[in-house]
Structure 1
Amino acid sequence: MMTREFIDEIKGCNMKLVIQKTLYKSDLTLSQNRLNMPFKQVETHDFLTDKEMQILCDHGGEIEVRLVGPNLQMFNKPMRLQIWHMSFVKTYVLRTNWYDFVEANKMVLKELATLQVWSFRKDEQLCFAVVCVDDPVVNRTTLEFMKLSLIA
């Protein structure tokens, strides 16, 4: 089963590519316990509602989100999404239980793997699907490529 089919099956909707990035050691270590998604690399910011964006823009504001892993299962621990302001850069950060998620998916979440993070809604709640891809796609502006390169 593909990620899109799984999200349809669990009644998810409004799927959007948030980012495609390479995983680095800092994304996988316990001491960091977070996934950085720099604004400059994000494909779209409209995965957030106006209310969610307002919450995140308040200093220290965070939103609880759920994650679907590469194994096509909803991870049992919620995560927190925040915006961090670092020097001259803003970044979305998935944190709180990120390292537990990495450990649960360590067979595919490895250093230098290419990762895609897709947003979707389930019962109005913001969720993300984390997908590892074999062949990174240069043109990432449509959903069409998703069917080409997912690891099922």
Structure 2
Amino acid sequence: MKSFAHEDAIVAQLKEFITTEINGNDVKLVIKKELYASDLLKHHNRLSLPVNQLETLEFLTEEERKHLEKDKEFEVPLLGPTLKFHDKPMMLKKWHLTSSCSYVLKTNWYVFVEDNMDVLKEHTNIHVWSFRRDKQLCFALACIDDVA
């Protein structure tokens, strides 16, 4: 169960950490989503960010957007719920599906899930934030649910 005060506190802590501790800027909420079993399966090894559920598309530069539209991918660091960068960077790619499209964090996603399995569970509500660090696109994942 989540409370809005709890959610606000987590978001404030995350933004403060990004801007003051690691010199990040341009912090933007990308998506609020509930984790599904498919987001946590080893053989899928990806976090889906459906375009039709995104809070903003403005987290990408024009150059990054064009790169992804050409069916290419690029490396993005991921800051986890413990406010530590994951050891292995993710790859960001855009998947064009039959009726929609999604951005996906892939390649080392399942390792990230294993490293955070105490909080990343099916039905956990998460926020994915984007930010820039030395102009590089980075992501941060925050678990919004109260941890009992």
Q: What's the TM-score once normalised by structure 2's chain length?
A: 0.88
Match of residue 54, structure 2, among 42, 51, 56: 42
Partner amino acid for 2:60? L
Match of residue 96, structure 1, among 94, 107, 122: 107
> Could you say what secondary structure the match of 2:65 adopts?
helix
Partner amino acid for 1:3? L
Name the CA distance, whole Å, in 1 between partners of 2:145 and 2:109: 22
Percentage of identical aligned residues: 52
Instruction: Structure 1: state its 5+ residue gaps.
Output: 136-150
Matches within 5 A, 1:1-150: 2-8=13-19, 9-59=21-71, 61-134=72-145
> Could you say what secondary structure the match of 1:30 adopts?
coil
Matched pairs, number: 135
> Offset at 1:34?
0.0
> Offset at 1:55?
0.2
Name the CA distance, whole Å, in 1 between partners of 2:59 and 2:98: 25
Answer 1 or 2: which has greater helix percent. Answer: 2
Instruction: Structure 2: state its 5+ residue gaps.
Output: 1-9
Aligned-pair RMSD on alpha carbons? Answer: 1.3
- 1:5-60 CA-to-partner distances (Å, cap 9, x unmatched) read 2111100000000000000110001000000010100010110000000000002x
Q: What's the TM-score once normalised by structure 1's chain length?
A: 0.86
Name the CA distance, whole Å, in 2 between partners of 1:104 and 1:123: 26
Name the CA distance, whole Å, in 1 between partners of 2:145 and 2:43: 28
> Offset at 1:134?
2.5
Name the CA distance, whole Å, in 1 between partners of 2:103 and 2:15: 23
Name the CA distance, whole Å, in 2 between partners of 1:110 and 1:3: 20
